[in-house]
């Protein structure tokens, strides 16, 4: 593709752009069961996150990844499939990846121009989302897009709204004050030692990255964790390789879409730079290893900092964990729809743990994950059917949790680790092996 140069650029400026523009190659022949996406680019803080963001925003599954930094240059290789485990064959998707990875000038995959962004954090409780949407409906705010996460008893939500009557962004300062005041009252928990936060802005950012930042700022990772009985809690360990000046982060987790994004997003926002990394998925397990330093080039300096990194990465992985029954709502959009739907959940004893709200061409396309009021994922089917009868059996449907397609192999149990202690015992050999593969030591035997 021939690049169109602006007339004001001289030849030197064009050369600089050519030298720093990422080079992207997409290969469908070199790997039997995945499409390889290869990126060469000048090193800068956050560029790995931008690359992963492009791929995950397309809901691609990253099966393997190899990241390496050679001086001032990054070389990244991603093995990706669609959610059905197939190679990428749609030319429009391939072209989009090439163009997006070749520019890195974006902030969000969606355009939220003309909308007002509401950021909410506070103490989660049953029925809270119903109260939030009821307030917005009462104040004549039409919800166009929204994502809601809950974790460790906290809630974070990014809601994009416009005025119901004018269809314009909300700019009246008095109305903005009313919105913030009423939402702050709703979010205020009886035993919350920290005040809830509300922010109304016209800023455009990547929604899921912003949710991570909001929960990180709210320090959800410090709170008493919810006890999980599924055995899917991620295992994270951190060790220093003082010989080479790196800190090594090893993560073993159940695999899912956007796992790599959640980890890289957190490391980036904590001001760590990933110099080398490997990602492998086997069966339904994922093993990720990162060689990191602070932005000033130093490794992790204390045991307290190591523990903070471990807690933050565990929280980042768990925030997106789908707790509960997945309900999909597809119906004609109207004023107060979300207030009515979430009130039906609340009145039938269902609590929303995660939500993705969107509208397309006057149609509401919403996904809710619900538990009972006590947080149990095994919801009584009668409660679900009662809500469906109230909202509309054809509009609200029960869906299974999204699964990632995997190639089974004899190594399916290779990364299965029963306890954190077993993981730590094997970490030393993992670190040495990867240092050897990256050419940083002569032998790992």
Q: Are residues 127 and 103 in the same domain?
A: no
Task: Tell me the backbone φ, ψ of residue 359, rounded to 5 degrees.
Answer: -130, 140
Domain that holds residue 250: 11-108+230-303
> Both tokens of residue 27?
């290969």
> Both tokens of residue 125?
């409780």
Task: Tell me the backbone φ, ψ of residue 100, rounded to 5 degrees.
Answer: -70, -45
Q: Which of 363, 380, 399 is the last residue of a domain?
A: 399
Q: What is the DSSP letter of 220?
A: G
Alpha helices in 21-90, H assignment, sequence order:
47-57
Contact in structure between 373 and 126 (CB atoms under 8 Å): yes
Helices (H) and strands (E) in the chain, counts: 11, 16
Q: Are residues 344 and 199 in the same domain?
A: yes
Q: What are the residues facing 399 on neighbouring strands?
A: 326
Report the pLDDT averaged over residues 261-290: 96
Model confidence at 37: pLDDT above 70: yes
What count of other Cβ atoms lies within 10 Å of the Cβ of residue 124? 23
Q: Are residues 242 and 218 in the same domain?
A: no
Q: Are residues 38 and 100 in the same domain?
A: yes
**What is the pLDDT at residue 191?**
55
Model confidence at 408: pLDDT above 50: no
Whole-structure pTM value? 0.84
Report the pLDDT averaged over residues 378-404: 85
CA nearest to 133, candidates 304, 418, 315, 341: 341
Positive or negative CA dihedral for 427, 429, 434, 436? positive
Position 218 in a domain: yes
pLDDT tier, 413 (very low <50, low <70, confident <90, very high otherwise): very low
Helix (H) or strand (E) holding 255, with range, is none
Q: Are residues 251 and 295 in the same domain?
A: yes
Position 431 in a domain: no
Position 376 in a domain: yes
Q: Are residues 33 and 155 in the same domain?
A: no
Model confidence at 410: pLDDT above 70: no
Least confident of 22-31, 77-86, 120-129, 418-427: 418-427
**What is the pLDDT at residue 137?**
96
Least confident of 110-124, 206-220, 329-343: 110-124
Position 299 in a domain: yes
Report the pLDDT averaged over residues 67-92: 90
Q: Are residues 150 and 213 in the same domain?
A: yes
The proportion of the chain whose per-residue pLDDT surpasses 90, expressed as a percent, equals 60
Position 430 in a domain: no
CA nearest to 118, candidates 215, 197, 228, 226: 197
Model confidence at 258: pLDDT above 60: yes
CA nearest to 315, candidates 250, 262, 258, 264: 262
DSSP string, 273-301: EEEEEEEEEETTEEEEEEEEEETTS----
Q: Which of 399, 416, 439 is the last residue of a domain?
A: 399
**What is the pLDDT at residue 374?**
85
Report the pLDDT averaged over residues 345-356: 95
> Both tokens of residue 44?
């800068």
Q: Does 429 or 346 have the greater pLDDT score?
A: 346
DSSP string, 22-33: PEEEEESSS-SS
Q: Are residues 262 and 155 in the same domain?
A: no
**What is the pLDDT at residue 193?**
56
Torsion angle of alpha carbons 112, 115, 116, 118, nearest 10°? -50
> Both tokens of residue 158?
């990014």
Q: Are residues 125 and 262 in the same domain?
A: no
Q: Does 58 or 425 have the greater pLDDT score?
A: 58
Q: How many residues does the chain have?
A: 445
Rounded to a whole number, what is the distance in angstroms from the first to the last CA of the chain?
A: 48
Helix (H) or strand (E) holding 339, with range, is helix 337-347
87-100 per-position pLDDT tens digit: 999 999 999 999 88
Report the pLDDT averaged over residues 392-410: 66
User: Cα separation of 251 and 237, whole Å?
Assistant: 7
Q: Are residues 138 and 206 in the same domain?
A: yes
> Both tokens of residue 257?
């879409």
Position 405 in a domain: no
The CATH number given to whatever domain includes residue 180 is: 3.30.70.260
Position 389 in a domain: yes
What count of other Cβ atoms lies within 10 Å of the Cβ of residue 206? 21
DSSP string, 165-216: TT-S----HHHHHHHHHHHHHHH--TT-SS--EEEEE-----HHHHHHHHHH
Q: Are residues 234 and 172 in the same domain?
A: no
Model confidence at 38: pLDDT above 80: yes
Q: Residue 357 CA to chain centroid, in angstroms?
A: 16
User: Cα separation of 417 and 262, whole Å?
Assistant: 21
**What is the pLDDT at residue 74?**
84
**What is the pLDDT at residue 323?**
78
Count: domains in the chain: 2
Q: Are residues 58 and 132 in the same domain?
A: no
214-243 per-position pLDDT tens digit: 999 999 998 765 555 455 789 999 999 878
CA nearest to 183, candidates 229, 122, 99, 116: 122
Q: Does 224 or 73 have the greater pLDDT score?
A: 73
User: Cα separation of 81 and 257, whole Å?
Assistant: 11
Position 1 in a domain: no
Q: What are the residues facing 38 on neighbouring strands?
A: 25, 77
């Amino acid at each position: 593709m021939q690049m169109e140069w602006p007339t004001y650029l001289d030849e030197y400026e064009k050369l600089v752009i050519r030298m720093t523009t990422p080079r992207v190659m997409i290969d469908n022949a070199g790997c039997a069961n995945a499409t390889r996406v290869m990126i060469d680019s000048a090193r800068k803080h956050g560029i790995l996150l931008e690359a992963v963001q492009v791929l995950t925003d397309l809901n691609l599954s990253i099966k393997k990844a190899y990241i390496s930094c050679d001086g001032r240059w990054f070389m990244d290789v991603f093995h990706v499939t669609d959610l059905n485990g197939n190679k990428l064959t749609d030319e429009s998707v391939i072209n989009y990846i090439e163009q997006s990875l070749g520019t890195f000038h974006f902030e969000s995959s969606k355009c939220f121009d003309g909308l007002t962004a509401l950021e909410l954090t506070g103490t989660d409780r049953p029925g809270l989302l119903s109260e939030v949407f009821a307030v917005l409906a009462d104040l004549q705010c039409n919800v166009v897009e929204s994502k809601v996460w809950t974790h460790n008893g906290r809630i974070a939500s990014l809601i994009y709204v416009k005025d119901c009557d004018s269809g314009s962004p909300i700019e009246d300062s008095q109305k903005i004050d009313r919105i913030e005041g009423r939402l702050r009252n709703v979010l205020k928990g009886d035993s919350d030692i920290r005040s809830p936060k509300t922010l109304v802005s016209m800023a455009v950012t990547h929604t899921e990255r912003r949710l991570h930042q909001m929960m990180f700022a709210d320090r959800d990772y410090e709170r008493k964790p919810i006890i999980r009985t599924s055995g899917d809690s991620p295992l994270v360990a951190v060790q220093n390789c003082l010989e080479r000046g790196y800190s090594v982060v090893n993560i073993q987790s159940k695999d899912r879409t956007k796992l790599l994004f959640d980890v890289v997003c957190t490391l980036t926002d904590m001001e760590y730079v990933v110099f080398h990394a490997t990602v492998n998925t086997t069966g339904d397990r994922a093993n990720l290893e990162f060689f990191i330093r602070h932005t000033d080039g130093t490794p992790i300096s204390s045991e307290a900092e190591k523990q903070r990194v471990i807690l933050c990465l565990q929280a980042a992985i768990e925030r997106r964990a789908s707790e509960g029954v997945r309900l999909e709502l597809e119906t004609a959009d109207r004023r107060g729809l979300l207030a009515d739907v979430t009130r039906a959940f609340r009145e039938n004893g269902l609590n929303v743990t995660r939500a993705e709200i969107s509208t397309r061409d006057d149609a509401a396309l919403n996904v809710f994950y619900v538990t009972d009021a006590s947080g149990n994922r095994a919801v009584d089917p009668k409660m679900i059917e009662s809500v469906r009868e109230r909202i509309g059996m054809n509009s609200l449907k029960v869906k299974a949790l999204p699964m990632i397609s995997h190639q089974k192999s004899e190594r399916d149990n290779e990364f299965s680790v029963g306890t954190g202690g077993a993981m730590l015992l094997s970490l030393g050999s993992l670190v040495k092996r990867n240092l050897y593969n990256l050419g940083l030591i002569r032998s790992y035997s």
